[in-house]
Amino acid sequence: MKKNEIIVAVTIIVLGLIAPKALPSVWITVLSMAFYYAILTIGWNIIFGYTGLFSYGHAAFPAIGGYTSALLAQHIGLSPFLGLVAGAFIAGLLGIVIGLLILRVHGFYLCLVTWAFAEVVNVIITAEHQITGGTGGLLAPTFFSGPNAELFGYFMGLGLMIFAFLISILLYHSRWGLNLFAVRDDIDAAESMGIKTRFWKVFGFAFGCSLAGLAGAYFAHFLGLIDPGIGGLDQMGYVCLIVIIGGLGTVYGPILGSFFVVITKELISGYASGYSLLIFSVIMILAVRFLSGGFMEIIQVISPRLNNRYLKFVNK
Amino acid sequence: MLLELIIRGITIGLVYALMGVGLALLNGVMRIINFAHGEFYMIGGYMAYYASTMLGFQFYFSVPTAMIVTFILGAVVEKLLLSPIHTQEMEKPMDYALIMTFGLLLFFRQLAIKVFGPYRHKPADYITSDVYILGVKISGNEVLAGVVSAILVIGLAIFIKKTWRGRGWRATTQSRQGAKINGVDIGKESWIACGVACALAGAAGALVAPIFTLSPTIGGSPLVKSYEVMAIGGLGSIAGSLVAGLMLGVTETLGAFYISSAYKDAIGFLMMGFFLLFRPQGLFGQK
Amino acid sequence: MKKSVLLTAFIFILTVFLPPIGAMAGDTIKLGVVTPMSTGDFRSGKINVQTVELAVEQINAQGGVLGKKLEVVTADDEGKPAAGVIALKRMIAKEKVSAVVGLWHSSVAVAQEKVATQMQVPMMLHYSWTDDLTAGHSDYVYRVGPFNAEIAQLALPYIDQNFKNIAILYETNAFGSGFANYLEKIAKAKGLNVYSIGYPQEATDLKPQLLQLKAKSPKPELLVIAAVYEATNLIPKQALEIGLAPEMQILCSWDWPTYPAFQEILGDKGVGVTYATFESDKLKLSPLGEKFKKAYKAKYDVDPPVFALFLYDEVMILAETMERIKSSDPKDIAAGLKDTKFEGTTGLITFERQEGPGPIWNQWMGHQLFINKLTAVEGKGYKREQIYP
């Protein structure tokens, strides 16, 4: 682990611990949602940013993880903490299955197939309403009860996000990560070097899906409910937006982007709540059109010196 | 009952074909995915509504009005936002398009909510009486939608086959480099093709507006159906889209009745997934 | 290098501290209205907001509550459970409301109920039908409106008298599923033949389900629709299109046919549709009810639907309770509501509790159900006639 990454992680932990004391209590809920998106997006970053697979069905996996955990809690009384594990596990398992299926497709087709999968999952969730509660959603036990339940849930989310962050950093610098990057950048060269590209494709995919499942289970037990909206196309859009803004393929991108998007949304909601998605879509369009490196390019544009500092920081 | 289901399936299948054909054209010429395709359907529908309700146009002006507006919109969008794909020789045009067109989807949908209001509207019926086909009662609107869709699809096929521009598009679909060498101006053809594709989507929206009614979020389902049709029929193949549309329409209607109405939407996805995995070129497409 | 970290941290803190640190606690008592305003059944949500604003206007004109003015704070729950929970949490934490009203969609309210109970702020339900809301026996949930089991029981005699084979199309959420399951149970117990089909609440193409009903034998004579999203108007339209109606009668589970949107979508084909409601020309409204109806019509140019009456009652009850217990603290209000005896718009309102499991907890049981039929198009709406009782 690079020194700078440790510093960032510690900074986040410290800020995360101070925030509940320093801010009005509504921010606890808002920041917890940011944690959810961060974990979810870290997962997608691994699938697309590291491994180069543009999965458009990512939103199905928090749904799978969340519903698994909620249903297990409902039917066998599984504790929400174990539910996190179960959700991540089942999502990862399905990630392996789907990952194997999509080995045969690339690019555009990959995108469509994963999207089709996500939509089928959504149809199943709404069709089997006797089990899943249908479009009305399902209630789930929260992590904690009592007056400080939300605060502890917040810390839970902070912890999970740091966990996901650290894992993504470890992966980034490891040999495994190198394999994923090789698959992303030049699959033929990777093959010729003896890298088992098929294995790593599935690995990267399932890994990201598993994190998404974890995020979904966290969502379910933090809010106390889960509904089919979690797997919807606009959630996928948020993930894309977050990654665009934060910077694709970097380790900090998902977290930076998540906080930016969630906090901005909250601030906007105070003044013009119905406009947040509209504003975001405009930002997304402009950002994709003119900047492709996320914050990095914004910084490049604003000040070359700052950019040098940032580059040095990120690459040290 | 079976006959009724088949006839209904064919009628909606023709509209699916119209949506899919536009997308296949776009994908063939521009090689990108367009998530905003459904939004042009929605805009076309609203244009028809405003044309007939606000401006008092007769119904036969509604659809053309919708098509003109969506053509212009599609061309403008292409010129402003999608042209970098070929002007900048992007490394990964698909990724660019994936995110950009998704942004457009959100943008148009949210804009529609603000501008048109979140209400559901219904333009006046194009044909108020019911028609009996082989003893099955179908509303006049549905028949009109199916017939006009078929006309547009066949019209496009003729255009592609016979006109110089159409042949240029076919060439671009087969080989960009080859087309360029032969004098096709990819930039110009891109925005025209994009405009046409969006106009077709707008036509579909305008045709079914009195049947399915309008709201800002109706673009989601047609988008999905377009992709299903394209995946099943094959990229760049008009005959494929027509056959695929009919297949999808009929299979869906039959499946919803005999198997389960709750899983109706899954049928299309499963078909699409099946084709993408095992026969990516679809029924008639070229690889 | 360290500077960049500090810079990032600084920007982060800045963006988070930038929002206005809440208005200072003023001399007002805040009443929260959390209801769908942008998506979901926003039409009803708008009526909810208008009703509460009218009620608060009247209360303030007469001196307010405990010498202070009542202030309305609104939040959009988007008709989605997750958004609704966050909206409610945000409202309670930020605005420090004394009570929350206007909750609408049952599935959303069920999730919001957990929040309200946990944060100890009373919420009042005027038209969220699921039994689950009061079956939890929370001290912070009070319902002036009806609930599924009650409504089904009240409607059963009409159905039983006139039909042998019925179909129920319902949204698969807390309201729809609850209503359909209960109605199916008691109808079957009376020997009726029941076809029950659920569909996802946001569906706009119900023809597959309707075609399935069309093929059933024996044919259903009545279609009961339990819907609140767009399907409300689309189901009758599509039933007509495939030839299922008008031979099969349509009974809407609540009075959405009185909304202008119904006429826009159905036009004169809407004649003959029936719906269930809780007020009628034959029901005498109390003087309070009459006054409210007139005031609402004068201010907003339409007649208030029946649930507005219940909501109005709730606001009045809250004002009266606060005066009675001389406090605007949410916990005190929750306790004080128990002893309500209020002459409401449609009858005397008290909250009953039945020991043992069941939804009768802080629940008003004084509803009367009527079935109206649309008889002719009239202006932007329809003439109607009461056909039951």
pLDDT tens, A155-186? 999 999 999 999 999 999 999 989 998 888 88
What HEC string does C310-377 produce?
Answer: HHHHHHHHHHHHHHHHCCCCHHHHHHHHHHCCEECCCCEECCEECCCCCCCEEECCCCCCEEEEEEEE
Of B95, B113, B273, the CB nearest to A116: B273
Partnered with residue A234 across adjacent β-strands are none
* Among A184, A220, A180, CA closest to A204: A180
Per-residue model confidence (pLDDT) at position B125: 75
A108 vs A202, which has greater pLDDT?
A202
Q: Is A111 helix (H, G, I), strand (E, B) or coil?
A: helix
Contact assignment for B119 to C261 by CB distance below 8 Å: yes
Dihedral Cα C137, C142, C148, C150, nearest 10 deg: 90
Amino acid at residue number C348: L
DSSP H stretches of helix in C62-205: 81-95, 106-119, 132-135, 148-162, 174-189
Residue in chain B lying closest to C38 (CA): B118
Across A253-279, average pLDDT: 80
What local confidence, expressed as pLDDT, does residue A19 receive? 87
pTM beyond 0.90, yes or no: no
**A48 or B181: which carries more pLDDT confidence?**
A48
Rg (Cα) of chain C, in Å, rounded?
22
Rg (CA), chain A: 19
Shortest CA gap C8–chain B (Å) = 27
Phi, psi at residue C342, to the nearest 5°? -125, 135
Mean pLDDT for A121-137 is 87
Confidence band, pLDDT 50/70/90 cuts, at residue C24: very low
Contact A107, A54 (CB under 8 A): yes
Query: Taking a C-beta distance cutoff of 8 angstroms, is the pair A223, C82 a contact?
Result: yes
- Biggest CA-to-CA distance, chain C: 82
Q: A49: which DSSP letter?
A: I
Residue A252's region, left for phi above 0, alpha for psi from -120 to 50, else beta, is alpha
C139-172 per-position pLDDT tens digit: 999 999 999 999 999 999 999 999 999 999 999 8
Q: Cβ separation of C8 and A11 shorter than 8 Å?
A: yes
3-state DSSP call for residue C70?
strand
Q: Buried b vs exposed e over A35-44: b needs ≥16 C-beta within 10 Å?
A: bbbbbbbbbb
Average pLDDT of the residues in C271-286: 84
Query: Which bin fits B140, alpha (ψ -120 to 50), beta or left (φ > 0)?
Result: alpha
pLDDT digits (tens, 9 = 90+) for C200-248: 888 888 888 998 898 888 989 999 999 998 889 999 998 988 888 888 9
Chain C residue closest in CA terms to A146: C118
- The confidence band for A309, taking pLDDT boundaries of 50, 70 and 90, is low
Pairing of strands C274-277, C99-103: unpaired
Of the candidates C311, C334, C313, C310, the residue with the CA atom closest to the CA atom of residue C98: C334
User: What average pLDDT does this structure show over B85-94?
Assistant: 68
Q: Are C51 and C308 in contact (CB under 8 A)?
A: yes
Chain B residues with CB under 8 Å of A113 CB are 272-273, 276-277
- When CB atoms are compared, the residue of A15, A127, A316 closest to C12 is A15
- Res C22 pLDDT > 60: no
Number of C-beta neighbours around residue A16 at 10 A: 18
CA B150/CA B232 separation, integer angstroms: 18
CB atoms within 10 A of CB C246: 14
Query: Rounded to an integer, what distance in angstroms lies between the CA atom of residue C10 and that of residue C18?
Result: 12
Instruction: Tell me how crowded residue C252 is: count the other CB atoms within 10 A of its CB.
Output: 26
Residue A4 has pLDDT above 50, yes or no: yes
Q: What angle do CA B182, B187, B191 make, to 5 degrees?
A: 120
Give me the residues of A, 176-215, that contact C with CB < 8 A: none
Of the residues B102, B235, B261, B281, the best mutation for testing chain A's interface (the one with the most A CB atoms within 10 Å of its CB) is B102
Residue with the two structure tokens 């809690």: A73
Q: How far apart are CA C104 and CA A189, in angstroms?
A: 59
Residues linked to residue C378 through DSSP beta bridges, in sequence order: C381
Q: Which two tokens stand for residue B89?
A: 């020789």
How many residues are listed for chain B in this entry?
287
β C141-143/C123-125 pair status: parallel
pLDDT tens, A56-70? 899 999 999 999 999
Paired strand residues for C376: C383
Average pLDDT over residues C57-71: 90
Predicted pLDDT at C194 = 94
SS3 C33: strand
Amino acid at C57: E
Mean pLDDT of C352-356: 88
Q: What is the pLDDT of residues C286-323, one digit of tens each?
A: 888 889 999 999 999 888 888 999 999 999 999 999 99
Q: Which of residues 86-125 of A touch C (CB under 8 A)?
A: none
Region of B89 please: left (phi>0), alpha (psi -120 to 50) or beta.
left
Residue A207, Cα to own-chain centre: how many angstroms? 12
CB proximity under 8 Å: A 44-63 to B: 54, 56
| Cα angle for residues C319, C42, C119 (degrees, 5° grid) | 45
C-beta separation of A13 from A180 below 8 A: no
Q: A274 — contact with chain B (CB < 8 Å)?
A: yes
The pLDDT of residue A299 is above 50: no
Neighbours of A65 (CB within 10 A): 35
Element (H, E) at C167: strand C165-171
Ranking A107-121, A302-316, B58-72, C226-240 by mean pLDDT, the lowest is A302-316
Q: Do A136 and C175 touch (CB under 8 A)?
A: yes
- pLDDT tens, position by position, A191-213: 888 888 889 999 999 999 999 99
Nearest to C114 by CA among C94, C138, C96: C138
Measured CA to CA, the distance from residue C196 to residue C216 in angstroms comes to 12
* Residues of chain B with C-beta less than 8 angstroms from the C-beta of C241: 139, 211
Distance from C-alpha of C130 to C-alpha of C153, rounded to nearest angstrom: 14
B24's tokens: 């296949």
- Examine the pLDDT at A297 and tell me if it is beyond 80: no
Mean pLDDT score across all residues of chain C? 87
- Residue C174 burial (CB count, 10 A): 29
Angle between the C42-61 and C287-300 helix axes, to the nearest 10 degrees? 110
Q: Do B261 and C209 touch (CB under 8 A)?
A: yes
Separation between Cα atoms, residue A184 and residue A52, nearest integer Å: 4
What chain A residue is nearest to B101 in terms of C-alpha separation? Answer: A285
pLDDT at A111 over 90: no
The tally of CA atoms less than 13 A away on the side-chain side of residue B208 is 26
Alpha-carbon distance A25 to nearest alpha carbon in chain C (angstroms): 6
Chain mean pLDDT for chain B: 84
Asked if residue A69 lies in contact with residue A81, where contact means CB atoms within 8 angstroms, the answer is no
Best CA proximity match to C113, nearest among C104, C123, C105:
C123
pLDDT (tens digit per residue) in C245-264: 888 999 999 989 988 888 88
CB contact set of A104 (below 8 Å; sequence gap of 6+): B277
Instruction: Judge whether residue A296 has pLDDT over 50.
Output: no
The residue among A41, A123, A236 with the most chain B CBs within 10 A of its CB, best to mutate, is A123
Q: Quick check: B11 and B204 in contact, CB under 8 A?
A: no
| Range scoring the smallest mean pLDDT among B120-134, C263-277, C338-352 | B120-134
The pLDDT of A91-115, averaged and rounded, is 88
Which residue has better confidence, B10 or B28? B10
Q: Is the peptide bond before C19 cis (omega within 30 degrees of 0)?
A: no
pLDDT at B287: 52
Residue C52 pLDDT grade (very low, low, confident, very high; cuts 50, 70, 90): very high
CA C358 from chain centre, in angstroms, equals 20
Phi, psi (5° rounding) for residue B127? -130, 120
Query: Subunits touching A (CB < 8 Å, at least 3 pairs)?
Result: B, C
- The rounded percent of chain B whose pLDDT value lies above 90 is 18
Residues 6+ apart with CB under 8 A from B258: none
Question: Which of A276-285, B164-173, B231-240, C10-19 has the least mean pLDDT?
Answer: C10-19
- Tens of pLDDT, residues B168-201: 887 777 777 777 777 778 778 888 889 999 999 9
Burial class (CB in 10 A: 0-12, 13-18, 19+), B183: exposed
> Is any Cβ of chain B less than 8 angstroms from the Cβ of C309?
no
What is the 8-class DSSP label of residue B214? B
pLDDT over 50 (residue C3): no
pLDDT for B61 beyond 90: no
